[in-house]
Chain A
């Protein structure tokens, strides 16, 4: 079905896009990869009067290592991140980029758009919250930096004001001896995951120094499970510690029953995903090459 009619605006720069958004007011929306917005418009769940297209803005798609951080341009497509050697320095980022939806969607969808949409079933927020991530937000008055935990406010709600946009995503490289993994389960490639788990560990030999454990799709926002992290920190990761982390993850999950599964099913699933992710993360911390990504039939 056709979306409702709208006026189209093609921004020449990100700054210009914020100015247009400011002039047009609440009836305007930004168009990045469009892989969520366009389907919503076709279903007429979203009916913007104006679209401000960011896709013609030059130099918004890049992955650069600057000092001890990776900088992602807001319109960097998932597919570019999937293929990037620089991004592969943080394996959990590759896990995510390589498994989002399917080839066609990864060729269009962007990291900035995904964060700005803050869909509770989106992948990027869950993964990037397990790392130290900053979001550069550009508005007509200038740019500000927001830590990712302060950026995601609620389901579909971020710290961005109407005339602000994500200009860059900055991810700190994890310390040496770290390992991370993202495991998401979905029923088929093109759909959102049923549940997902992001685990980032800093190891000292067999002992876990620091852990970040996030659950996706089982709450209005990614769920950080401090109890699961505490179950690993300062300990050797043995079967008992892993069980405790799984148990904590199941308890912290707050899934909604829907067509992807019942709440009980999702709770059980997310525990299993956490276990897998911990296992891969600690093996990667030891320097093993392990391939994981989204799991689907």
Chain B
């Protein structure tokens, strides 16, 4: 069939071109700083943050869109940065845990996690804090259910969630008072 031949030719041509994958130039605002870099299309957002920008506060846990350790804010919305390509963040504003602190003062959520013992090993903590930041930006008086729902995409294997939960409640109270 001529159709099949045509497809085979096309694929052959494309696989020859695959030898050299073009890098894509992108400009991303990360924690308020504009960064321009060229990325291979398959580079994940989390790898760009960790490897190219040396922002190692964003962690890779499960690497399968489950655990939420890699959570960052993309234009204010929590996303799993292991499940997005860096090239897709072109033009976006990214906030990582390194961007929460302002002028040497901890963000209320950071302070609350410390005060409430909301962490043990700390591996999941940046992800939890960024999910909480999205919640508190949309909802200043979250109910218990709202909090549970907001952190359902984050997994902690140390503390059993109780202190994390208390930390988010404390941060909500603190931010409302501020």
- Chain A residues in the interface with B (C-beta under 8 A): 1-8, 24-27, 31, 34-35, 38-39, 42-43, 49-51, 53, 55-56, 79, 101-105, 107-108, 188-191, 296
Contact = CB atoms under 8 A, between A and B. Distances in A.
Contact of A7 (B22, B85, B88, B150): B22
B7 A103 contact: no
Interface residues of B, number: 43
Interface in B65-113: 65-68, 71, 74, 77-80, 82-85, 87-88, 90
Nearest to B41: A8
Interface string B19-51: 001101000000000000000111110010000
In the complex, which of the residues A26, A38, A50, A56 has the most CB atoms of chain B within 10 Å of its own CB atom? A38
Contacts of A4: 42
Contact of A5 (B21, B47, B80): B21
Interface in B130-171: 131, 134-135, 149-150, 152-154
B11 interface: yes
A210 B42 CA distance: 49
Given A101-B153, A102-B153, A189-B152, A3 B65 contact: no
In the complex, which of the residues A31, A101, A191 has the most CB atoms of chain B within 10 Å of its own CB atom? A101
B42 A103 contact: no
Contacts of B121: none
B18 A104 contact: no
Nearest to B71: A104
A238 B66 CA distance: 41
Contact of B83 (A8, A38, A56): A38
A53 B42 contact: no
Interface of B: 7, 10-11, 14-15, 17-18, 21-22, 24, 40-44, 47, 63-68, 71, 74, 77-80, 82-85, 87-88, 90, 131, 134-135, 149-150, 152-154
B96 to A, nearest CB: 14
A262 B11 CA distance: 42
A26 B64 CA distance: 26
A5 B14 CA distance: 12
Given A34-B83, A39-B64, A42-B64, A104 B41 contact: no
Which 5 A-B residue pairings sit nearest by Cβ, starting from the closest? Answer: A102-B153, A189-B152, A8-B41, A107-B77, A104-B80
26 contacts: A4-B42, A5-B40, A5-B41, A7-B21, A24-B14, A25-B7, A25-B11, A26-B11, A31-B88, A34-B88, A38-B65, A42-B63, A49-B14, A53-B88, A55-B88, A56-B90, A101-B153, A102-B153, A103-B134, A103-B150, A104-B68, A104-B71, A104-B80, A188-B152, A189-B153, A190-B153
